[in-house]
């Protein structure tokens, strides 16, 4: 099993590019099931979740070819199987996004209940209520959702749950509604850029969707959708992770090929902390953190356009290195705090109180052997390792590989001392000495 070994303390400097967005690419790939003819997707990130979904789509009849530079062509070759098996679905949350398209196009879907990151309770009741409202018969049988419908009908549905709107729930219902008879209105729709990207993609295939990016989405059903060509939006979570890598190492780092508009809350937060943030056009940001003194602060992770829950762990790593007391509340996934204990192993001082973590900044983190528990927790541990004194070994990086394209290569290009190696070659915990600030 691979691990990442990081020797911390190098301020990152230079230029690095954001990849295409995982969370936009996955529902878009799933929605290719709705179309006749071939779709060409550009800027698809090369990461494990994309490979997993590719396998799943192949199993249910898609013909998929990879071309150079992240170009993927997807065409439905046959429709005899509409069953997404546990072995693949358990590996990632977004596999549930095939449910709506299969139901709308083939009238039947059997999809294992999804896996994904262990970041707390992750029901799919809003997906199922939405699809039922469109006329589907749905039951849970032996760990799978079994859904059928001869013809979906437009309806008014809500995506409002106890912790906000569901992102993949909105994607599922919106894509199913494209082929429903009549008009569907989704109230309390998720407003994330990935939902907007999916709506734009579906419209490019011939759907009639309005209002994506607001809390009300209206979809007029059409008879059929046709393949198209579409470019995946930049990954705002990866971009934020890279910017925090620049800041936490007190470096000077430019991230380009990102979408500035999608990162406003994160950039404002970095500025509030005291990081010098310079933007250039709509697609590049430089963080300069060498000589600044930073301020602790209170952050709440909330739905878009606020600070994303998917950046919460990475921010926590950064705040751990800033003197004074900060706090982070996660209002989307109130239990998403497994990384606290691992950051504390590196000398951080973090205490969890319900959906809030209180962080007392320390002068220095120390290298340690740590274990990744989920995708963004892995990223947080890598960031902590980049600034820690001595050597950090991050284990279980298969979580990281699910959602980051070539992260260690990108970090190495801007100066990080980071390498992937076999766990067996990295057995001895590093010798470090812990020094806390009072
Ligand atoms: C593949 C993908 O795009 N994953 C993202 C997506 O996950 P995902 O779409 O799974 O997350 P949701 O937006 O559905 O979840 C948001 C909140 O709603 C709750 N909920 C969700 C569905 C439901 O049917 N009932 C319900 O109560 C969840 O438990 C959570 O508290 O959005 C999350 C929130 O921005 C991100 O962290 C994930 O990276
Ligand atoms: C939580 C995430 O992914 P998933 O929803 O696939 O578990 C994520 O991308 O941070």
| Predicted confidence (pLDDT) per residue in 367-419, tens digit | 999 999 999 999 999 999 999 999 999 999 999 999 999 999 999 999 999 99
Q: For residue 408, give the 3-state DSSP assignment.
A: helix
123 within ligand 1 shell (Cβ under 6 A): yes
Q: Verify that 70 and 204 share a domain, yes or no.
A: yes
Instruction: With respect to residue 430, please indicate whether it lies within any of the assigned structural domains.
Output: no
169 within ligand 1 shell (Cβ under 6 A): yes
Taking the C-alpha atoms of residue 180 and residue 394, their distance in angstroms, rounded to an integer, is: 47
Q: Among 25, 47, 117, 373, name the best residue to mutate to test ligand 2's pocket (greatest count of ligand atoms within 8 A of Cβ).
A: 117
Structure tokens at 88: 């693949």
Q: For residue 244, give the 3-state DSSP assignment.
A: helix
Q: What does the pLDDT read at residue 120?
A: 84
Which neighbouring-strand residues pair with 237?
none
Q: What does the pLDDT read at residue 429?
A: 58
Q: Verify that 88 and 32 share a domain, yes or no.
A: yes
Domain boundary among 202, 231, 260: 231
The β-bridge relationship of strands 252-256 and 229-231 is: unpaired
Q: Verify that 258 and 212 share a domain, yes or no.
A: no
pLDDT tens, residue by residue, 68-97? 889 999 999 999 889 998 888 888 888 999
Q: Verify that 226 and 242 share a domain, yes or no.
A: no
Q: What does the pLDDT read at residue 170?
A: 98
Q: Separation of 330 CA from ligand 1 center, angstroms?
A: 13
Structure tokens at 366: 């120390």
Q: Verify that 42 and 173 share a domain, yes or no.
A: yes
Per the CB < 8 A criterion, the answer to whether 294 and 273 are in contact is yes
Domain boundary among 181, 205, 231: 231
H or E stretch covering 102:
helix 99-106
235 within ligand 1 shell (Cβ under 6 A): no
Number of compact structural domains in the chain = 2
Domain enclosing residue 88, as ranges: 22-231
Q: Verify that 225 and 350 share a domain, yes or no.
A: no
304 within ligand 1 shell (Cβ under 6 A): no
Q: Among 24, 310, 377, name the best residue to mutate to test ligand 2's pocket (greatest count of ligand atoms within 8 A of Cβ).
A: 310
Chain mean position to CA 296: 26
Task: Choose among 105, 114, 137, 131: nearest CA to 26.
Answer: 114
Nearest atom in ligand 1 to 237's CA: 39
Instruction: With respect to residue 227, please indicate whether it lies within any of the assigned structural domains.
Output: yes
Q: What does the pLDDT read at residue 291?
A: 73
Active-site residue, 171 included: no
- Residue 166 contacts by C-beta under 8 Å, 6 or more apart in sequence? 124, 126, 127, 159, 190
* pLDDT tens across the length of the chain (438 residues): 899 999 999 999 999 999 999 999 999 999 999 999 999 999 999 999 999 999 999 999 999 999 988 999 999 999 988 999 888 888 888 899 999 999 999 999 999 988 656 788 889 999 999 999 999 999 999 999 999 999 999 999 999 988 889 999 999 999 999 999 999 999 999 999 999 999 999 999 999 999 999 999 999 999 999 999 999 999 999 999 999 999 999 999 999 999 999 999 999 999 999 999 999 999 999 999 987 789 999 999 999 999 999 999 999 999 999 999 999 999 999 999 999 999 999 999 999 999 999 999 999 999 999 999 999 999 999 999 999 999 999 999 999 999 999 999 999 999 999 999 998 888 665 555 545 444
Q: Verify that 63 and 94 share a domain, yes or no.
A: yes
Taking the C-alpha atoms of residue 72 and residue 26, their distance in angstroms, rounded to an integer, is: 12
Q: Count of CB atoms within 10 A of residue 263's CB? A: 27
Q: How far is CA 159 from CA 22, 124, 140, 185, in A?
A: 22, 11, 20, 10
388 within ligand 1 shell (Cβ under 6 A): no
Q: Verify that 362 and 257 share a domain, yes or no.
A: yes
Taking the C-alpha atoms of residue 258 and residue 152, their distance in angstroms, rounded to an integer, is: 37
| Residues flanking ligand 2, CB < 6 Å | 23, 92-94, 116-117, 119, 310, 375-376, 403
Structure tokens at 438: 């009072």
- Residue 335 contacts by C-beta under 8 Å, 6 or more apart in sequence? 119, 120, 121, 355
Instruction: With respect to residue 316, please indicate whether it lies within any of the assigned structural domains.
Output: yes
- Residue 50 contacts by C-beta under 8 Å, 6 or more apart in sequence? 22, 25, 26, 29, 44
Exactly one of 32, 117, 340, 426 is catalytic; name it: 117
Chain mean position to CA 122: 15
Instruction: With respect to residue 60, please indicate whether it lies within any of the assigned structural domains.
Output: yes
Q: Verify that 148 and 43 share a domain, yes or no.
A: yes
Taking the C-alpha atoms of residue 344 and residue 359, their distance in angstroms, rounded to an integer, is: 10
Q: What does the pLDDT read at residue 77?
A: 95
Structure tokens at 292: 């600044």
Helices of type H across 60-98: 86-89
DSSP state of 12: P
Structure tokens at 154: 């437009």
Q: What does the pLDDT read at residue 436?
A: 47
Taking the C-alpha atoms of residue 276 and residue 285, their distance in angstroms, rounded to an integer, is: 10
Taking the C-alpha atoms of residue 32 and residue 418, their distance in angstroms, rounded to an integer, is: 37
Taking the C-alpha atoms of residue 148 and residue 390, their distance in angstroms, rounded to an integer, is: 56
Burial class (CB in 10 A: 0-12, 13-18, 19+), 261: exposed
Q: Verify that 128 and 114 share a domain, yes or no.
A: yes
Q: Verify that 202 and 284 share a domain, yes or no.
A: no
Taking the C-alpha atoms of residue 286 and residue 246, their distance in angstroms, rounded to an integer, is: 9
Task: Choose among 55, 40, 80: nearest CA to 205.
Answer: 40
DSSP 24-49: HHHHHHHHGGGEESEEEEES---SHH
Q: Verify that 405 and 287 share a domain, yes or no.
A: yes
Q: What does the pLDDT read at residue 431?
A: 54
Domain CATH for 46: 3.65.10.10
Domain boundary among 231, 247, 276: 231
Instruction: With respect to residue 435, please indicate whether it lies within any of the assigned structural domains.
Output: no
Instruction: With respect to residue 240, please indicate whether it lies within any of the assigned structural domains.
Output: yes
Q: Count of CB atoms within 10 A of residue 69's CB? A: 9
Which of 332-351 are b and which e, b meaning 16 or more Cβ less than 10 Å from the residue's Cβ? bbbebbbbbebbebbbbbbe
């Amino acid at each position: 099993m691979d691990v990442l070994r990081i020797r911390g303390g190098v301020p990152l400097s230079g230029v690095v590019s954001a990849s295409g967005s995982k969370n936009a690419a996955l529902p878009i790939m799933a929605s290719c099931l709705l179309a006749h003819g071939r779709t060409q997707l550009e800027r698809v990130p090369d990461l494990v979740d994309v490979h997993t979904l590719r396998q799943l789509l192949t199993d249910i009849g898609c013909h998929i070819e990879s071309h150079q530079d992240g170009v993927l062509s997807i065409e439905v070759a046959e429709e005899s199987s509409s069953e997404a098996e546990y072995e693949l679905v358990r590996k990632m949350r977004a596999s549930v996004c095939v449910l709506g398209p299969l139901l709308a196009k083939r009238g039947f879907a059997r999809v294992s209940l999804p896996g994904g990151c262990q970041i707390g309770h992750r029901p799919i009741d809003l997906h199922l209520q939405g699809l039922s409202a469109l006329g589907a018969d749905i039951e849970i049988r032996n760990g799978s959702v079994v859904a059928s419908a001869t013809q979906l009908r437009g309806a008014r549905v809500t995506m409002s749950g106890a912790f906000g709107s569901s992102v993949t729930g909105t994607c599922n219902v919106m894509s199913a509604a494209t082929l429903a008879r009549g008009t569907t209105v989704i109230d309390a729709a998720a407003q994330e850029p990935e939902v907007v990207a999916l709506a734009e993609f579906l419209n490019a295939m011939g759907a009639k969707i309005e209002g994506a990016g607001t809390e009300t989405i209206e979809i007029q059903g059409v008879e059929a959708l046709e393949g198209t060509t579409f470019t995946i939006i930049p990954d705002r979570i990866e971009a934020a992770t890279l910017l925090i890598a620049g800041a936490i190492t007190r470096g000077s780092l430019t991230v380009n090929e990102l979408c500035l508009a999608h990162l406003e809350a994160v950039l404002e937060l970095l500025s509030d902390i005291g990081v010098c943030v310079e933007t250039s056009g709509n697609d590049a940001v430089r963080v300069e953190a060498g000589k600044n003194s930073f301020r602790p602060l209170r952050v709440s992770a909330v739905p878009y356009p606020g600070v994303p829950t998917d950046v919460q762990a990475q921010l926590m790593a950064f705040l751990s290195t800033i003197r004074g007391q900060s706090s982070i509340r996660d209002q989307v996934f109130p239990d998403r705090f497994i990384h606290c204990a691992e950051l504390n192993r590196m000398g951080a001082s973090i205490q969890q109180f319900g959906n809030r973590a209180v962080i007392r900044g320390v002068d220095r983190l120390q290298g340690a052997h740590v274990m990744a528990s989920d995708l963004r927790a892995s990223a947080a541990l890598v960031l902590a390792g980049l600034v820690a004194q001595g050597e950090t070994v991050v284990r279980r990086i298969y979580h990281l590989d699910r959602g980051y394209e070539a992260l260690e290569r990108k970090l190495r290009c801007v100066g990080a001392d980071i390498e992937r190696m076999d766990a067996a070659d990295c057995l001895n915990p590093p010798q470090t000495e812990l020094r806390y600030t009072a």
